[in-house]
Every structure is written in structure tokens, then in C-alpha cells.
Amino acid sequence: MKKTLVGLALLASMPMFAQQKASITVRPDEGKEIISKHSYGQFAEDLGTCIYGGLWGGKNSTIANTDGYRNDVLQALKELKVPVLRWPGGCFADEYHWMDGIGPQENRPRMVNNNWGGTVEDNSFGTHEFLNLCEMLGCEPYISGNVGSGSVEEMAKWVEYMTAEQGSPMAKLRKENGREKPWKVKFFGVGNESWGCGGNMRPEYYSDLYRRYATYCRNYDGNVLYKIASGASDYDYNWTEVLMKNIGHQMNGVSLHYYTVLGWTGSKGSATQFNDEDYYWTMGKCLEIEPVIKKHIAIMDQYDPQNQIDLLVDEWGTWWDEEPGTIKGHLYQQNTLRDAFVASLTLDIFHKYTDRLKMANIAQIVNVLQSMILTKEDKMLLTPTYHVFKMYGVHQEATYIPIELDCKIMNLEGERNQMREELIDYPVLRTLPMVSATASKNAEGKIHISLSNIDLENELEVTINLGDVKATKAVGEILTSAKIDDYNTFENPNLVKPAAFDEVKVKKGVLKVKLPAKSIVTLQLQ
């Protein structure tokens, strides 16, 4: 794996509420790897109102729709240029029987969503509805197959139903249900969280099941499946090692799940009511995904030195307590400027490991966890996280540019900021650089730089050394707000939104940028 040039240095202490300084050197000549657009992927689980009430209202809905899909949500997602969408789960995937979701909608059996609140659903959103949605959005589908409670035959027939051209029973059934031509389905997950809600399996057992199930996921009529194994949670490095050893190159990719979450028992904390200490803990926990990724990649490198197996972080994001008054198990949470920083910092990290990390799917697209969009009846709003994804869209399929970064570092305190023992050899508290940054060059030669000033109080002057890069000016956008816990509501949907940014000066190969406290900026050099 290549070595990314990122260094952090602690500058001399300065008075609070003063302008802080940082420096960045960009190395465009050292950029080799392409930032996969799929690292900006989305995730839509059959959970709460993500599907029903979020993406899908049904053809008889009084809310403006196209063939049952909400027009306002559709338009917002088209503008976001979603590259890949994962469905139907999550935990739901390993209880989902796909044949219950095909045929005339009025004839489909109802089901109880046991994983998420016990909601009774009508299965009106199924295979056709999902794959047609992907076509409308111009994105690739990522299907999660049922290993936990499904059979090999069931999974094999689903692949056949979706991708076989003709001459098979499943192709015939699909045509009878109104779809003549097969869909193109590349990404296929063989189970989800098999260590937990996907079956509570041991990695050795899951490895054997994967080999069996994946064998019968065939390629039909030129459709070539990219098969994804159900990978580890967070710090479970043994799971990755067992899969690499026992499955190896029978998989194209292996997943990893990492949430910025306080813990899995008790309260996870409020999405909107938090103090400065909570905020800085969140940033530290978010950044800990980097050493986690590095350790999993190191294991993969041992068994796959040629980088033929990809790492996919197909669930990530913040996880807070559900909003008061909402249905337990529906995981509906608000989205503040704090969540926007988790998005920008995480995407910065993903870019650095793009030689191995080829997909990521934030959880989730609408109304669940760290979502892009929130809906309420006929109303819709865009979250701060949506705005980060749109601002960062310029990095998709661009060449990653290594950088050197010097900035102030905060030493975090308290037991909850102690790094996990799986990452270190001795107890140590997290440290938090006050700046995060990333840079890329697109196919037209345009360089984009994204900067995050994590500091809640201090303005930041960033000096960016461009080297041989020729630039006379820079234009960009900024995302910030008066308070870190600001968020958009249906009454005030534009409280947190991007604005034009011009606090930039270019002179003799040096870019000077003045970043307000708690701000995220993306610049294009011209």
C-alpha cells in the first residue's frame, strides 16, 4: 500500500478566540490513485420511514410522485448524483424474502419488520421498485442477499430473476411481472453482519456458507457479479483474517462497518443537544476510523498483496438516540452541523486509502440515522450532511493528491476518549488535529481542495503551498452556521446551507485561506 504524506505538528500555544494558523503542501505529481465514485455511496434499508414515506409513497399517494416515487426526494437525489445505492439491508436483508415483493402490489403478502419497531409493511416496494429507482437516479444497485434465514436456492433464483435475459423460469417470471429486459446488477452482498443480526455466526462458519452461497450466484448473459462478503464490525480484526484466509479470491470485496457511536447499550446521546466536550469526542471517535481501516488493510495485504480484493465500508455514520416522540426502532434522528463534520472528516480519510477502499455507503439515505434527506408528510428538507456530499462531489473519480498538513492539535481528556486496546499497545488518549483536508485533480486538470476547521472558537488562516501548480484565483463554497448544534427544520429548512466563499488570496504559488470557526470549505483552483 502506498504511504500517504500526512504529517501533524503542534504549533505554539495561542490565546483562545484568536486566529490560528495551519499550513498545507499539495503534491499533485505524486497522485496516482482514482477516488472511486462509489465511496460516495448511499444505503437504503427497509427501516422506519426510509422507504415507506421517504423514497416511496405509492402511486395513490396525495404527495406529488412519479410512479410512486416522491418527486421532491427524487430530484434532490438526482442533484446529489448518487453513484451506488445499497438495499434492502442491513439487518433487514437477512429476513427479507424477495419473492414476497414481486408481482401485483395488491397481491403481495404483508410482513412484520421484526428488526425495526415491529412495523407491519405491505411489500409494495420490492425488487422492481428498487431497481427501477436506481435506473431513474442513474446509479448502480447494490443488493444484499439473505444468508441468515434464506436458502441457497432463494438467493440463486433472485440473481437469475434480476439478470437472466431469457430461457429460464425466473426470466419468464420477471417478464410476466412487467419487466422484459433484465437489469444490470453488479454489486451483490452475500449476507450482512453475519456476526450479529445476520445470523450470530462464527467467521469460520460464515466463510463456509459464503463459499456455498456464492457458488450459485451465477453470471447471466454478460452480467458479471461483484461478490461482497459480510465483513467485520469495527475492531474485529480476527473476522477479517479468517475471511481472507478461508474465502480469499472467491470474493471481490469484503465489507467493514464503523459507526461514530457512544456505545451499544444505554443512551447514545442526543442528536441535537450536546456540549463542546461531546462535539470534540465525536470528532475523535470519527477519526478513529482511520487506524481501524489501516489495521484491516494490513491484514488484507498479507493475504492479497496484489490488491485484488477491495475493502468496502458499506455502513458508516453517526448513531444517536431517536428523536423524542418518534417510533422506537425507526432510528429517526436530526442532523446538525456536527454530523456534517463527521461526513467531511470521514470522506477525507476514505480518499487516503482509495487504493484499497473502493466503496462506502453512509447510513442512511432518508429519515434514518445520518441521512441526506428528512421528510414529514408532504414536506422535505436537506440536511447538513447532504450539503457536504454535494460539495465533495467534485472529488468523485478524480485523482487523489497527497498532502502534508501542519496544524494545532487538541489533546482530548476523559475515559471515553481512551483509544481501544485493539488499536494500541498501551493506554493513550485520542488527539484531535484542528484541521482536516483533502485534495484531488479531475480529468480536466482542475484541482479541488476541501478544508474543515474543526475548532469551535477560532478562525483559521491556512497557507497552502501549491508548488508548480499554476493558479491565479480560487472559488468555492462554505458550510457553517452560528452554532455547532444548528440544524434544518421543516419550519426553517435553510438554516444550515452552503454559501459562496471568497476569503482566498493567491500569490506566487501560495494560497491563503481564512476559515471561520466550525466551517467546511471546498475550493476550485483557477
Q: Is residue 181 part of a domain?
A: yes
Report pLDDT digits (tens) over 342-362. Answer: 999 999 999 999 999 999 999
Which amino acid, one-letter code, is at 224?
A: V
Whether 41 and 28 share a structural domain = no
Last residue of a domain, one of 369, 389, 411: 369
Whether 48 and 26 share a structural domain = no
Whether 361 and 410 share a structural domain = no
Whether 354 and 252 share a structural domain = yes
Candidate list 193, 288, 322, 477, residue with the active-site label: 193
Q: Is 193 a catalytic residue?
A: yes
20 prior amide bond cis, ω within 30:
no
Q: Do residues 203 and 243 touch, judged by C-beta distance below 8 A?
A: yes
Which is it for the CA torsion 483, 484, 490, 493, positive or negative? positive
pLDDT in single tens digits along all 526 residues of the chain: 333 333 333 333 334 455 689 999 999 989 999 999 999 999 999 999 999 999 999 999 999 999 999 999 999 999 999 999 999 999 999 999 999 999 999 999 999 998 898 889 999 999 999 999 999 999 999 999 999 999 999 999 999 999 999 889 999 999 999 999 999 999 999 999 999 999 999 999 999 999 999 999 999 999 999 999 999 999 999 999 999 999 999 999 999 999 999 999 999 999 999 999 999 999 999 999 999 999 999 999 999 999 999 999 999 999 999 999 999 999 999 999 999 999 999 999 999 999 999 999 999 999 999 999 999 999 999 999 999 999 999 999 999 999 999 999 999 999 999 988 888 777 789 999 999 999 999 999 999 999 999 999 999 999 999 988 888 899 999 999 999 999 999 999 999 999 999 989 998 889 999 999 999 999 999 9
90 prior amide bond cis, ω within 30:
yes
Domain containing residue 410: 20-32+402-525
Whether 136 and 250 share a structural domain = yes
Report pLDDT digits (tens) over 424-477. Answer: 777 789 999 999 999 999 999 999 999 999 999 999 999 999 988 888 899 999
Q: Is residue 305 part of a domain?
A: yes
Grid look-up 456540549 returns 275
Q: Is residue 5 part of a domain?
A: no
End-to-end Cα separation, the chain, in angstroms = 32
Q: Is residue 383 part of a domain?
A: no
Any idea what the CATH number is for the domain that residue 500 is in? Answer: 2.60.40.1180
Reported pTM? 0.94
C-alpha 414/C-alpha 430 separation (Å) is: 10
Helix/strand/coil for 381: strand
Q: Give the number of domains in the chain.
A: 2
Q: Is residue 302 part of a domain?
A: yes
Q: Is 397 a catalytic residue?
A: no
List CB contacts of 263: < 8 A, sequence separation 6 or more.
none
Residue-wise burial string across 324-346, b where 16 or more C-beta atoms lie within 10 A, e elsewhere: eebeebbbbbbbbbbbbbbbbbb
Q: Is residue 480 part of a domain?
A: yes
Candidate list 33, 45, 140, 315, residue with the active-site label: 315
